[in-house]
């Protein structure tokens, strides 16, 4: 029995050389990969045109405002 594909749909798009070099510059530090940036860009594009609903804010486990004391 064949294993189901993780991504069964192929999505192909065209880009300019400037956009490709910008994407390569974003991923050059190794902190993220091209697929992550492309998913984020597509999500932003769909939200901008109202195709996808906005994401609810995610709690980050930290207080929003931290109190600090200043000693003079």
Quick: pLDDT tens for 32-61: 888 898 888 888 888 889 888 777 777 776
Residue 17 lies in a domain: no
What domain range includes position 34? 30-54
pTM of structure: 0.54
Residue 16 lies in a domain: no
How far apart, in whole angstroms, are the C-alpha atoms of residue 56 and residue 59?
A: 10
What pLDDT is stored for residue 51 in this prediction? 87
Average pLDDT in the 14-35 region?
A: 90
Residue 71 lies in a domain: no
Could you tell me which of 47, 42, 50 has the C-alpha nearest to residue 23? 42
User: Are the beta carbons of 52 and 46 closer than 8 angstroms?
Assistant: yes
The angle at the Cα of 32, spanning 31 to 35, to the nearest 5 degrees, equals 170
Residue 65 lies in a domain: no
Could you tell me which of 16, 11, 21, 17 has the C-alpha nearest to residue 46? 11
Confidence label for 21 from pLDDT (cuts 50, 70 and 90): very high
């Amino acid at each position: 029995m064949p294993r189901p594909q993780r991504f069964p749909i192929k999505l192909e798009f065209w880009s300019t050389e400037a956009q490709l070099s910008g994407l390569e510059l974003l991923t050059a530090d190794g902190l993220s990969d091209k697929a992550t940036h492309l998913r984020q860009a597509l999500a932003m594009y769909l939200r901008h045109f109202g195709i996808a609903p906005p994401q609810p804010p995610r709690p980050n486990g930290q207080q929003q405002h931290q109190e600090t004391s200043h000693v003079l």
